[in-house]
Chain A
């Protein structure tokens, strides 16, 4: 009898999950993971990898199962992290790994190549955005050796000036549930960059605004109850009057995405999220100065703070556009007066093979 019960239990589980998964309404996005779910591979039926993604993404009770896995990992197996994310007090941290030397060399080679092949100006700068683990006390979490990484960049990047922003940031400069920095906490960083590039800083007045709730990317990796944050941003007449040209969409956009409630990722509030090339134009200035930023997502919240001092800021994200294409884009031009800034965060520097 017991055998029959065991077999029936197991078979019921094996059959009921796929049947109900198949019948249930399919979601298109995962709110917790802030990503689009895989779609039915109707045009590529023999691509079994796509089938696997589709069946896994639409599995019955996926969100609950992820919570169960998190509970088993953290509470039963007493792991300190789930999916490489650690909670310390009320903040979440991405567990750092050691320096990926090949990746660091790769990004320095890429920067040197771009400087050599495209850039005509001599006003070239670069800066590193530390991950927030850097600001933790000693022996709270394994840390990447920031000083060594900084030295490697300094030793290998030619013909560009380093801007060290480490001292203008602290733990509070970052979101608790995300890896990114808060725009309202990087006004000093923006001032420092302007000071070092243009040697002048003007007092800029901003009005603070906020959106709620904001759950960062790290929240999706850990099942713990963590309070939602608010996402604060600053604006003024210049920012409001500036236009953002999106090269990929061939559209003019605003600096901030006001449809916050529709965003998969709250951080896409800034410049509407990840995209290959953006051109911000300041309509309020007489200046002809132009800045080109080679960047990752961190620059999305920084660029609005620099626009007051420029006529035009171009943001190039080499994760989505190939560096060999830079002389083939009509919207991009190179001249001797431009300021150039390479601004990359530690996660991208240490995983730079995503840059093309």
Chain B
């Protein structure tokens, strides 16, 4: 690594000013090596994979979780490793650029040293660089690409559709895309994407009535004389986790029997490499890899797990590699296969963090992003407040951003308690950052943003919390929906993830008094999945609160006391809510 004395001193000053504990080793690690993006090609068949960028066209901050608990057979295994446990498992040096990318450790200090991540102009530079060394490489988009920002919502996903075409996406599978409605999805798939030759694949989406395929289940391509198949797997629980009425005629589900059928068909048609582009979530992918045979690799998303190396899953006929490529444009997966004698002989995988300071912006993409944002500049840049607190969302139980949302909902609506969905998208803000309308939209930009105020009995509140907890902690991954626990404002509680539905949540307290099963409470919420719900959009409610407060500081994070997972569980670290 090259660094002159002046740069080194500057780095020390920055790091010291931000309170980082420095020894000479971690200070030297303050810059990524110059050859960080030199990834020599291996073999003859290559795939580039990004997923869950959530419509972030520009570089952002994104903090990985300090709570990502596994249950059942997933305890203590990737992706349920956080902080130092993850670094140790994958041999990543603490304090390095990669350690910053893959963990929450020293986030605010390290973020100031390493800069923002992602951004399509920077991603484009990286994609082009890797493609230049890998003729024929396919760029796969794992979905959750069209939703998550103000501009994608306001342009009805068009900004992302055009950005993905310019980026050079070849194949895509959906999840949040469906929340723009079935008609809009079909318009893009049969219009923009068809013209640009982008294949939209999903083997597990069929019509409700006859079970006909809605999209192509898979696509065959040829790369350097090798036939490869990419099978799509949409998020299986789209009509449950998101509004059913937006895709009324489509049925989803995991459907590993039909997955097996398409794998076998692709093999029979000459595919030597079979890939699944999946939005199952990593635990579901790991289970599926053990049940379906003949898949070389599953490139996964949905659960936003940045997993540095694939997990090898043995099944009846061989081994399937399972990856998960994080979120928010932070990573690009690079999988090289050496295919000879009609099969995969070996592989090399890297999950490259996209550090925007290390990758110059591609000028054409940069110009496109500027152009598409220009009409909305005033709205996006409206400064609502400044945060003295560190604002993040990701984590199994709560994040400071969500605390801010539920605080705002309870305050503005005059509610006893509030629920906010356990979404895993949403960017991070460092202490001292401005909360602009754009950053608020990063947390809230959905097509069903209505806020609600509902009278609920204590029993109903508990039932909802138990239901969501089971979607997260059911020991069978096929019953998991891949979101985090509903964020709860006002009510303190304990949770034992190892118990069964109905027995996980306990000790519910509101203002120091036990929540009474028969008593009625007013509960504010947002993002109703039912049709026809009226209510002010959540961003308006929270924006009003922020304009009024001007400065956000001293947020009190309501995190449950966790029981039953053990203090040494590698899926949790630095947790302040209590752990046993």
Q: Are A and B associated in one complex? A: no
Q: Give the B-binding residues of A (Cβ under 8 A).
A: none
Give B contacts to A, CB under 8 Å: none
